[in-house]
């Protein structure tokens, strides 16, 4: 069983918010239960423009195929206009 490293009482403010003190994370997943218990789990969000290693590998492979001439025939897009 894990022991709490810090405990304190908190009160809702006028806008019905609770302030968490000295937290380690900026984002939390919140789970609310019928008995009033609220569980916060820390979340680390991925930067929006970060590309995964897998995607970078696929892009490298695609560029290599292009350089080697391993490409599909050109698409005819003339029916869509200029």
pLDDT (mean) for 44-55 = 82
Q: Which residue stretches of the chain are H helix?
A: 53-67
**What is the Cα–Cα distance from 42 to 29, expressed in whole angstroms?**
6
Phi and psi angles of residue 64, each rounded to the nearest 5 degrees, phi first: -60, -45
Give the model's pLDDT for residue 82. 66
- What is the b/e burial string over 8-42, where b = at least 16 CB atoms within 10 angstroms of the residue's CB? eeeeeeeeeeeeeeeeeeeeeeeeeeeeeeeeeee
2 by DSSP, 3-state: which?
A: coil
The full set of domain ranges for the chain reads: 1-70
pTM over 0.75: no
pLDDT (mean) for 34-58 = 88
């Amino acid at each position: 069983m894990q022991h709490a490293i810090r405990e304190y009482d908190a009160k809702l403010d006028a806008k019905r918010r609770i302030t968490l003190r000295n937290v380690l994370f900026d984002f939390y997943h919140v789970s609310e239960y019928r008995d009033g218990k609220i569980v916060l789990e820390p979340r680390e969000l991925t930067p929006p423009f970060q590309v995964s290693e897998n995607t970078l590998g696929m892009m490298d492979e695609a560029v290599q195929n292009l350089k080697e001439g391993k490409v599909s025939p050109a698409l005819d897009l003339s029916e869509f206009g200029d």
